[in-house]
């Protein structure tokens, strides 16, 4: 069995690790051990925040809808309740986009809800 020298593969691994942490602060961008740890933590946060992003956007749509409804004499909770009772199947995302981009259309939706 011939001998295998691992210098090139370990250098390649090190280079790829350091390439992934380019722009990180302090030793995490230059030291291999800290870089590996930073990559692991970054991956964990990315995974968790991909899940959390869905709730963040739903909360944002709720806030936008409430802000658009208040001047028109509605509260968010009452509006959502009446929409469900009248079987209007527009979701919060679409409603908040309409409220932001087309206020006249949003006012017409509110008139149908009233």
Per-residue pLDDT tens digits for 35-89? 999 999 999 999 999 999 999 999 999 999 999 999 988 899 999 999 999 998 8
* pLDDT for the residue 28: 95
Residue in the structure block whose two tokens are 């208040």: 70
Residue 34: partners with Cβ closer than 8 Å, 6 or more residues away:
26, 27, 28
Give domain status of residue 54, yes or no.
yes
Give domain status of residue 1, yes or no.
no
* CA pair distance 59, 53, nearest whole angstrom: 10
DSSP states of 54-91 as a string? HHHHHHHHHHHHHHHHGGGT--HHHHHHHHHHTT----
Provide the pLDDT confidence category of residue 90 given band limits of 50, 70 and 90.
confident
Which tokens belong to 112? 């149908």
Give domain status of residue 29, yes or no.
yes
Region of residue 69 (left: phi > 0; alpha: psi -120 to 50; beta: else): alpha
* Domain span holding position 50: 7-113
Q: How many structural domains does the chain have?
A: 1
pLDDT per position as a tens digit, 5-29: 889 999 999 999 999 999 999 999 9
């Amino acid at each position: 069995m011939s001998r295998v020298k691992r210098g090139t593969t370990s250098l390649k691994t090190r280079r790829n690790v350091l390439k992934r942490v380019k722009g990180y602060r302090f030793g995490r961008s230059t030291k291999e051990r800290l870089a590996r740890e930073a990559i692991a933590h970054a991956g964990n946060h990315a995974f968790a925040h991909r899940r959390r992003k869905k709730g963040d956007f739903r909360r944002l749509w709720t806030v936008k809808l409430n802000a658009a409804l208040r001047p028109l004499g509605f509260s968010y909770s009452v509006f959502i309740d009446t929409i469900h009772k009248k079987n209007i199947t527009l979701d919060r995302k679409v409603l908040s986009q309409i409220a932001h981009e087309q206020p006249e259309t949003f006012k017409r939706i509110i008139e149908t809800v009233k």
